[in-house]
Amino acid sequence: MRIYDLKLLIELSHSNSISLTSERMHITQQGLSQLIARVEQELNVKLFDRSRHGIKLTEAGQKTVQKAKEILEKYEELTSELEILNQQQTFPVEGDLILSHSHVSGTTVLPKALKLYKSRYPEVNLTIYENSPYETIALIKKDPRVVGIINFPETYYQDDEKREWLFCPDLEYKEFLRNELILCVPKSWALSKQQMTSVDEIIELPMVYYETSQYGEIITQMFRQVDKKPNIFLKTLNNELFRQTILDGLAMGVFSTHELNDNRLLRERTQQTSLRITLIYTWASSGKMPMPYQAQKFLRCLENTTKMIIE
């Protein structure tokens, strides 16, 4: 079994569709079906149940995919370590990197990407600014050395006026993640199903709020169905205070699916409401000059981190 086979099995487990997987992974449906049959024969188990609705992992298939993810993670660790070793011996990465990002990205992908980057390239002098996406775009326009992480609600990309402003011809963009933001309430509130789905009732409840302009825009989008302002209990920029206020049952708040998956306590002590919004995370750099080598490496770390989040 090859590494590529493992990647195909993992993608199949996500899509539950041979046609979708063949399209995404650039393989024919016949070739994908033959691969499944070959792997099943090799392992002497049935990995997928097939029906007119698609394919579904069997119990053996679930265990196989879980092990495939572990093997793939170890393989990527090995290739990364060998790449670092080779770079250190030939072309060490040094110099400066200036990164601008939003507060929202600082609670999702950025911390792990930074840790990975500094472990690989300790000689790089990293300067980080926390700005709104609009400020990040303006900063890159002003100084082409700057790179940034911007994120906007998916609805912004369907608005011609906002889209024209966001996608400046002087910049280059690369989407790397879509992640849901979900309004969560403390389980101790014991809300009924009707309350959990009623926007009019939910907006009256106390809410902890990140004190940034972008967060205000996100909450406005989330509650756009009603002509009311949220009942703000607390505004803060402190991530720990934000989480603890919700865990203590004092207020509700918005978390990304990544935060919820990454924090067992948040999952166990909160309930997800029906209010949610998709954020699109995009890497932005100047189109007036080649992307700095240091920035290229950071983007690679960011993409590796994103893969781990998705899987």
> What is the pLDDT tens value at each position of the chain, 311 positions in all?
888 889 889 989 888 888 888 888 888 989 989 999 999 999 999 999 988 888 889 999 999 999 999 998 888 888 877 876 776 666 677 899 999 998 888 777 888 899 989 988 888 999 999 998 889 999 999 999 999 999 888 887 777 777 776 777 889 999 988 889 999 999 999 998 888 888 999 999 999 999 888 888 889 889 988 888 899 999 998 989 999 999 999 999 999 988 888 888 999 999 999 899 998 999 999 988 889 889 999 999 999 888 877 66
DSSP line for 114-174 = HHHHHHH-TTEEEEEEE--HHHHHHHHHH-TTEEEEEEEEGGGGG-HHHHHHHS-TTEEEE
Q: What does the alpha-carbon distance between residue 15 and residue 31 come to, in Å, rounded to a whole number?
A: 17
Q: What does the alpha-carbon distance between residue 166 and residue 134 come to, in Å, rounded to a whole number?
A: 8
Q: Does domain 3-87 match CATH 2.40.240.10?
A: no
In one letter, which amino acid is 229? K
Burial class (CB in 10 A: 0-12, 13-18, 19+), 8: buried
Alpha-carbon Rg for the chain, nearest whole angstrom, is 22
Straight-line distance from the first to the last Cα atom of the chain, in angstroms, rounded to the nearest whole number = 20
pLDDT for position 248:
96
Helix (H) or strand (E) holding 273: strand 270-286
Asked if 189 and 246 touch (Cβ cutoff 8 Å), the reply is no
pLDDT for position 258:
86
Q: How many CA atoms lie within 13 A of 299 on its CB side?
A: 20
The structure's pTM equals: 0.68
Q: What does the alpha-carbon distance between residue 148 and residue 36 come to, in Å, rounded to a whole number?
A: 41
Q: What does the alpha-carbon distance between residue 35 and residue 42 come to, in Å, rounded to a whole number?
A: 10
pLDDT for position 90:
64
Residue at token pair 């016949």: 30
Grouping H, G, I as helix, E, B as strand and the rest as coil, residue 104 is: coil
In this structure, which long-range contacts are made by residues 238-247, counting pairs with CB atoms below 8 Å and at least 24 apart in sequence? 239/106, 239/107, 242/208, 242/210, 245/208, 246/184, 246/186, 246/208, 246/270, 247/186
Instruction: Please work out, in degrees rounded to the nearest 5, the angle formed at the alpha carbon of residue 107 by the alpha carbons of 177 and 208.
Output: 120
Of 210, 209, 212, 208, residue with least CA distance to 134: 212
Fold of 179-280: D-Maltodextrin-Binding Protein; domain 2 (3.40.190)
- Class of the CATH domain delimited by 92-174+285-310: alpha beta
Backbone angles phi, psi at 186, to 5 degrees: -60, 140
Q: What does the alpha-carbon distance between residue 131 and residue 100 come to, in Å, rounded to a whole number?
A: 6
Asked if 125 and 173 touch (Cβ cutoff 8 Å), the reply is no
pLDDT for position 225:
85
What sign does the CA torsion over 66, 32, 24, 113 have?
Answer: positive
From-to residues of CATH 3.40.190.10 in the chain? 92-174+285-310, 179-280
